[in-house]
Structure formats: structure tokens, C-alpha cells
Amino acid sequence: MSVGFDTSPCRPQDLGKFEIKERDGVARIGRLFTNHGILETPMLLPVVNPNIRTIEPREMWDDFGVQALITNSYVIWKHEKLRTPALEHGVHKLLDFPGIIITDSGTFQSYVYGDIDVGVKEIVAFQRDIGVDIGTMLDVFGRPDQSIEELREAVSKTIERAPLSLDEAGPNLLLNGPIQGGLYDFLRSESAEKMGSVSGKHRGFTVHPIGGIVPIMERHRYLDLAKIIIAVRETIPANRPIHLFGCGHPMLFPMSIALGVDMFDSAAYALFARDGRLLTPDGTVRIENLKEWPFASRILNGISPSEVREMEDIERTDLLARYNLEITQAELAKCREAVRSGKIWALVEQRSHSSPELREAFLFLKDRLIQNNDFSSSEIIRSSSPIRSGSERWTSDSSSRPHLLHAKTLIRERWTPPLKNWRGESMNGANILLIKSGRSPWRDSVKSDIIHALSKNPNQIPIIQTPNGLLPFDLEDWAPLCHIQAFDSVWSSIPSPSDESLRDLGLNSSSISILQSTEEVTDKEVRVQIHEWLEHSQISAKCSVFLGSTRESTANWLEGISVDRSSTGRIRNVFSADGRHILSPRLHDGGISLTNEGAKDLHSFGEGPPRLVLADDAIPFVRDGRNVIHGFIEGVDDNIAPGLPCLIVDSNGDLVAHGVSRCTSNEILKFTKGIAIRTRGGIKIHDSE
């Protein structure tokens, strides 16, 4: 199963760098560059006890697709039979594992057994000398039952040890910088900020494990776990992977990944097996209660629960440990696929019903995201691309999905009513034409009724009522807002819009009329006029919401436009009054694509999409259409977001290209590896004149 994993060392200049390949909000599929290949995240590091190998590391590599594991350097250092061969031949030879090896330093042993007899520099040097890929400094474990003074001291001592540890690591050993702080959010944030800013002779920390959480998880305090992850993410550098130390239950993977965790480790696959417990994505199952397997498994195929119960302890443990590792790997694969398909929060919703404690944590996150009054919630929402092809399966929890909240935020902050009605008259004090009937596509189901209503009263603005809130009709094909799959009872029970929701759109709540089904307008000229006004309003609204242009400037820009259409009559391309192709409405997701001519126009207006300042060395390549790469960026506006257009300029402010961002402004400034902007068009020098 590990066929395809390349264990070759990365390029020296890439060592320790992390890049995002795909994302869904702050959940990300990333690549971490090491001396034994590129680590794909999110992933689990199975804990391997070098003295008790329930599953041999080579079998993990060959049969379970395990690309990396974690073992304890303190245990190897303490036992002569392990220390000597590790120093002579390296830890990879000792464990017979060709992949990436990460080591802990003995901090957890100090929590379990008391003080350990190894020094701060000594344990890092040992990890370096046995050829570890990613080692761990000797931090001070913080327990949830400790006082704030004790936890503050643990954080301070860990930070104090950090520079010494980084210097001792040398140029080839990457190092974990653990984050402590117990249950105190401010201590976690402080620890993350300071550990994230420490530098050694060669580099800073590569990965930041969140430590001290095993006692929290043992007591099922998942709400506290969520709060800790959020606190750490607020101040940790965006380009550093986050490792949840000691977390290995598949039930916790979706929530943790959705909050930005990249790596997990645990011995649960083996420890649970010894007690006859099976890990599942929905919780833990004891084998003594089973008559049949409630799940499919390659490992358990052809064996009944009763046969497993009759096995000798060692044989049963070996079998169940392999099952536990199999199901753990499968759940991580499911999470990665959910990230790729933009469904990670839907999976979080589903898994939240696994236990009351996990549900409590989810409801806390749901409320926090909807309120959106703190940095971490805002970052999760802004990191989520608001334009997505496909549908949205609606549940009672769906309103908190970050990409839907991002869409609502864009509508609230950028959408404004049309300036004029179809007769060319001012729309001041316009009435609301509320659409409660029909289904998507609304342009087919209710457009003739809208035209009839506007022919009677031009001073109306059609607004669609959806389970996700109010959707202006001029954004009616915006996916996934236009593809909400919900029961008829959900649609019919949507309450009347509140005054606040209408004020958010700049609308007057005093006059609302409900769209009624009626006959088509007989006056063809009027019908065509209203139809064209609706189309023009749609283009204008998308320029406002997706490009950040005001209705006023957009109205001037779109004066005298012409269009061409698809075979179904929808607008495919928009041409300026002088015949230049400036825009293309996207039919598959309702977004809008700029052309080079459109980008030049918006750049000359001095408004529209946010701007990114490109380093001089990269300008010729980006002008030729190459993507913008992290590390070649000198500055950025603070409102760049994944999935939305931006303009790429040089240090003088001259237009170089335009594209679609893959990350937030904060990430653009932090990452040094990977694609930041997908370039859609480079502006040649002669084109910009």
C-alpha cells in the first residue's frame, strides 16, 4: 500500500517547508518537506514502542500505507540495547522503516512516571545523531489540573529552552516546538506566539504540537479541546503544521482537521486492542458485545467476533490492533477526500452526533462561527471559498458552514440594490418583491412572474428566501446557494425576513410584497426590456460581490455593453462599449471571470479586486501566465481570500497580471512554498500601454 511514497531527500532549500495543495477553509491537504520524502497531511503518526512492537514498522509501511511514524527518543536513549545500534546505524535501520521518523523527547514520560534523567540539549543532540527526521525539544508538560502559576511556569520554561534546542538541532534535524498552557486560552495563545517566533541558527520550529491534551481527551472534554486548538491557531504562524499530540481516535479527526490540525499521533490502535476495544469513526466498540461486525474490514474479513474472542490474548491483540490501524487510516482518507470536495464541515456535523461531549463542542463552534465576532472565526470563514460548484445538502446545522457564512458576509458587505429600475428611474425607497415559491434555477421557475410584477411596479427588488437566508435575485445562480437540497417542509417553514436582515442589504422592511404566480406579460417590448434589465443587474451585482466594485463605478463601466449567449440563452461573455471582451459569467458555479481587458479597466479605476505586489524577479514569469509562488510576494491587501479574484501589480503599482487566490492575506505573507495565486492572465508590457 505504500507504493508511490518517495523516500528521497527533498531539495536542501525546501527542507522544513510546508505548502498547501488543497483546502476547505483552514482544513488543508499539505506537504511537509523532509530528508526522507514529502509528508502528506493530514495524517496519523502511529506510535511505535521500540521495545513492544505490536505491529512491525515495516508492515505498517508495506500493508497499511503508513508514510511516517513516531517513536520515543528517550526510550531509545535510556536502553543500551536500543541506543547503541541507533547511534551506529541510525533509527531507520533500528526500526526497519524506510519512511519519515518523528520522535518525542520524553516529556510525556515525565508526566506519567515523574522526572526523567536527560538534559535539554542532550536529548536533541541524541535525536540528531540517530538520524531522526523531525525531533522534539524537551518541553514542560502542563496538566489541566495545575494552577495558572504552575502552567505559566511550564510555558515560560518551554520557551526558555527553545533557542538552545533549535541551535543544538543543527542544519538537518527538523524540530517540533510544543505548545503548552493547560486550559487557559491566553496561555495557549501566548505560548503559540512566542514558540512560533523563536529562531535558531538554522531555522525556527518546523511543526507545532499541541501538548498536554491527553488528560483532556481521556475525560472526553472535547469542548476544551476545541477551545485549545482555536487559541493556538490564532497566533501560530500560518505556514507551520499543527500536530495534536496524543490524539488518535478517528472520531476526533473531522473536527480537529476542520479547525486546522494537520497531524495526529497515538498508540490507541494498540492500547485499545489489548482491552478488546475497536476504534470506529463514531466511537469505541467492545468486542464482548458483538455478534456481528457492524462495519466492513479487510483485516476482520472471514472471522466472526466469537472466533476473535476465543483467541489467545496476544493473537487477539495483534488482530484488533491491525483493524484499529486500518480504520484509523480509512477515516483520515475520508477526511482528506472531504477537504478536496469541500465537505469537511458536513462531515464534522455528521460526526458530532457520535457522543454528547463531541456534540457540545460542535454546538459551541456553530454558535461561535455564526456570531463571527472574533479573529479565529473570521479567519475560518474568510479561508473558505464562497463559490463552489455542486449542491448543498441542508441539515439543521448547515447554517454554520464557513463557506455559506462567507457568502452571506459578501452579500451583506458588498451587495447593494440596483441604482435604477428597468425604466431608468431612481430606485430610492424601492419595495421588496419576496420570492417564496419556485425552486432553482429561479431564472426558469419564476422569472416570468418577476417580469410581470415589475411591469406593474418597476420600483421593486426581487429577493429570494432560502434556508440560508436572503439571496438577491441578481445572484440567483451562485453555487452552492442556488443548489440547496432540503425537504419541502424546510422551504415552506422559512420565517419572514427580519428587519435586521433586510437592513443588512440596504432594504426597507416597511414594504414587502410576495411574488405571485401569474400569466406572462403580453407586451413583448416591455418583457424584453425587463429581461435585459435583470441580466444587466446580475452582471453588476456580481461585479460588486465578487470583484469588490461599487454599483456606481460598475454602472459606468458596463454602459453600452454587448453580450453573447450559450445555446440555452445564458450570457457567456460580456463586451465593453468599444467591443473588448471584459468579463465571462461562469455558468457552472455562478461566479465571474475577468479577462485581461477587464482587469486593466478595473486597475485603471483604482478599485475592484484586492491587489498583490509581486517581487521584481517573478514579474517576467507571471506576465507570461505563470502562477504566483509564495516567497516572491512583497505585499498584499488585507482582503484577499481563496476563490476570489485579485490583481497582481509591481512595486510601482503597474498591472502585471490577474488571477484567483488560493489563500488568505495572512497566509500569503507567511508561506514560502507553493502556489499563492492561480494566474488567469498575464499582462504583456505592450498590452498595458
pLDDT tens-digit series, residues 320-378: 999 999 999 999 999 999 999 999 999 999 999 999 999 999 999 999 999 998 889 99
Q: Where residue 683 falls among pLDDT bands split at 50, 70, 90?
A: very high
Residues 632 and 497 in one domain: no
Phi/psi region, residue 246 (left: phi>0; alpha: psi -120 to 50; beta: rest), is left
Residues 466 and 323 in one domain: no
Count of CB atoms within 10 A of residue 453's CB?
23
C-alpha cell at 14: 525546501
Residue partners of 310: CB distance under 8 A and separation at least 6:
none
**Alpha-carbon gap, residue 158 to 145, rounded angstroms:** 18
What local confidence, expressed as pLDDT, does residue 113 receive?
55
What local confidence, expressed as pLDDT, does residue 1 receive?
47
Q: Distances from the Cα of 281 to the Cαs of 298, 339, 351, in angstroms?
A: 16, 17, 7
pLDDT tens-digit series, residues 151-177: 999 999 999 999 999 999 999 999 999
Mean pLDDT of 272-282: 96
Residues 96 and 232 in one domain: yes
What local confidence, expressed as pLDDT, does residue 112 receive?
59
Contact 141, 127 (CB under 8 A): no
pLDDT tens-digit series, residues 400-423: 999 999 999 999 999 999 999 999
State percent of the chain over pLDDT 70.
98
Residues 422 and 297 in one domain: no
Mean pLDDT of 12-41: 98
Q: Where residue 226 falls among pLDDT bands split at 50, 70, 90?
A: very high
Residues 57 and 183 in one domain: yes
What local confidence, expressed as pLDDT, does residue 110 receive?
61
Residue partners of 413: CB distance under 8 A and separation at least 6:
none
Q: Distances from the Cα of 594 to the Cαs of 28, 472, 476, 580, in angstroms?
A: 27, 22, 20, 12
C-alpha cell at 106: 520524553
What local confidence, expressed as pLDDT, does residue 108 receive?
66
Domain of 82, CATH number, reads 3.20.20.105
pLDDT score of 54 more than 90:
yes
pLDDT score of 644 more than 90:
yes
Least confident of 8-17, 27-36, 424-433, 454-463: 424-433
What local confidence, expressed as pLDDT, does residue 421 receive?
94
Residue 567 lies in a domain: yes
Residue with the bigger pLDDT between 111 and 683: it is 683
Strand order across the 512-514 sheet: 469-472, 460-466, 431-435, 512-514
pLDDT score of 109 more than 80:
no
State percent of the chain over pLDDT 90.
89
Contact 648, 657 (CB under 8 A): yes
Contact 642, 385 (CB under 8 A): yes
Residue identified by cell 473558505 is: 384
Using omega within 30 degrees of 0 as the cis cutoff, is the peptide bond preceding 441 cis? yes
Residue partners of 163: CB distance under 8 A and separation at least 6:
198, 199, 200
Mean pLDDT of 590-611: 95
Residues 279 and 310 in one domain: yes
Residues 273 and 213 in one domain: yes
Least confident of 56-70, 282-296, 587-601: 282-296
Q: Where residue 239 falls among pLDDT bands split at 50, 70, 90?
A: very high
Beta strand 512-514 with 27-34: parallel, antiparallel or unpaired?
A: unpaired
Instruction: Output the average pLDDT for the chain.
Output: 94
Point out the domain boundary residue: 559, 592, 625. Answer: 592
| Phi, psi for residue 522 in degrees, rounded to 5 | -80, -30
Residue 602 lies in a domain: no
Q: Where residue 508 falls among pLDDT bands split at 50, 70, 90?
A: confident
Residues 240 and 326 in one domain: yes
Residues 551 and 616 in one domain: no
C-alpha cell at 660: 484567483
Contact 60, 99 (CB under 8 A): no
pLDDT score of 3 more than 70:
no
Buried b (16+ CB within 10 A) or exposed e, 53-82: bbbebbebbebbbbbbbbbbbbbbbeeeeb
pLDDT score of 115 more than 70:
no
Residue identified by cell 483467541 is: 311
Q: Where residue 607 falls among pLDDT bands split at 50, 70, 90?
A: confident
Residues 242 and 332 in one domain: yes
C-alpha cell at 30: 499539505
From 104, 133, 224, 477, the catalytic residue: 104
Mean pLDDT of 438-444: 89
What local confidence, expressed as pLDDT, does residue 504 receive?
87
Residue 478 lies in a domain: yes
Helix, strand or coil for residue 538? helix
Residue 4 lies in a domain: no
Count structural domains, the chain: 3
Residues 18 and 90 in one domain: yes
pLDDT score of 582 more than 90:
yes
Point out the domain boundary residue: 592, 623, 656. Answer: 592
**Alpha-carbon gap, residue 357 to 297, rounded angstroms:** 27
**Alpha-carbon gap, residue 400 to 196, rounded angstroms:** 30
Residues 47 and 117 in one domain: yes
pLDDT score of 506 more than 60:
yes
Least confident of 11-25, 79-93, 340-354, 516-530: 516-530
Residue with the bigger pLDDT between 261 and 116: it is 261
Single-letter amino acid, residue 154 = A
| Phi, psi for residue 207 in degrees, rounded to 5 | -130, 150
Phi/psi region, residue 651 (left: phi>0; alpha: psi -120 to 50; beta: rest), is alpha
Whole-prediction pTM value?
0.95
**Alpha-carbon gap, residue 673 to 31, rounded angstroms:** 10
Residue 396 lies in a domain: no
Domain of 632, CATH number, reads 2.30.130.10
Residue 683 lies in a domain: yes
Residue 275 lies in a domain: yes
Q: Distances from the Cα of 294 to the Cαs of 281, 284, 299, 324, 326, in angstroms?
A: 12, 12, 14, 14, 15
pLDDT score of 7 more than 70:
yes
pLDDT score of 2 more than 60:
no
Residue 406 lies in a domain: no
Contact 248, 264 (CB under 8 A): yes
Range of the domain at 686: 609-689
What local confidence, expressed as pLDDT, does residue 560 receive?
95
What local confidence, expressed as pLDDT, does residue 107 receive?
72
What local confidence, expressed as pLDDT, does residue 292 receive?
94
SS3 content of the chain, % helix, strand, coil (to 5): 45, 20, 35
Mean pLDDT of 427-445: 89
- 104 catalytic residue (yes or no): yes
